[in-house]
Structure 1
Amino acid sequence: MTWDELAPLLRDATLETLQMTLWSAVLTAVGGLLLGVLLVLTERGGLLPVPPLNKVLGAVVNVGRSLPFIILMVAILPMTRAIVGTTIGTTAAIVPLTVAAVPFYARLVETSLREVDPGVIAAARAMGASRRQIVGKVLLREARPGLVAGLTITVIALVGYSAMAGAIGGGGLGDLAVRYGYQRFETGVMVATVVLLVGLVQLVQTLGDLVARRLTHR
């Protein structure tokens, strides 16, 4: 395959990978943050202790994290079809990507929030701060570097998941690598997709580290 033939394929596949990763990252950031905050609030001794709910949420997160992504994609095909109307393509891949990443990020959020100095929380409560104020102005604010670092790790995982999504028609660089690099034995295509995926991961890691460092110094 010549470069003139390969370049448009790489361009389109990269854009599909970016679309899958960015949309699922946004949805994961929202869903994972909410779920992680709930895990911390509802635990025994938390700001809003509801141990039974905490156990249910913890079980849901554990199940979501334990399923291999390929199995998860197949298992939720009916849900994917119900949400987006199809199980094939870039848009359809966003659903399992988000479902897989939300519990992963939720645990990272939970860990970051637990690392906040309890003394800061106690001081805020002593000054009469409400639960909402403590969560928004103390917990989340103090945990920002950890939250950004956790999101960086999650987005990198999503890049890998998006490549696997290509194996079952999800589009993107993974699909290009399977159809041309593997099935047609086009070594150049395989190498090009690997280089692009590595470059994308490096870019995400660099940006994430930069933002986390800036938040740490504030």
Structure 2
Amino acid sequence: MKKPLAAALLLACLPFAASARDSLGSFTYVEGGVQRVSVDFGTPGSDTLDFNGAGVRGAIELSDNFYVYGGYAWARNGDLVEDIDARQTQAGLGYRHTIFDNADLIAEAGFQHTQLDATGYRDNLDAARVSVGLRGALSNNFEGWVKASYVDGSDYDGEFSGTLGAQFIINETWGVVGEIEAGDLTSQYLIGVRASF
């Protein structure tokens, strides 16, 4: 169900390419913001746990086609008797291929590490993550991206997710970003500020 939604969003972005600005913004940036992560355990009668927190992430262009990316996020759930802290680190390599003057096909492959902490409890979850999508300039001050991702590893059963994000560009350096990622078990909402270089 998530994959057809991501494909529809991807196709919906294409007609805007003709009216958008001539090129995409930089793939070298750093951003920080607040986030909310909801975890649905997928069993009848189980509650959804919501984690509120913040994170930083960024990317560095290595060439016209390749970039590296990474991020660190932390959040806390206080709904239970014991607070649960969650921390996640991501890093990987990205590839971009220009399909229009103002739209790139993007593909990413990386690693993510998640640590869960509570009193007397700690768990570490490691996985590989691959994504493919499109990033495009929809107007002079607005960029959007859509991605489909798959996460799998010894600590995961494998999860697909779809991501829809946007940046409102204030000037050549600063922008406001928002992103929604929805998967089989988790959903994540983020809003923040980006500095591009």
How high is the TM-score relative to the length of structure 2? 0.25
The structure that has the greater radius of gyration is: 1
The structure whose residues are more often helix, as a share, is 1
The structure whose residues are more often strand, as a share, is 2
Higher relative contact order (CA 8 A, sep 6+): 1
How high is the TM-score relative to the length of structure 1? 0.23
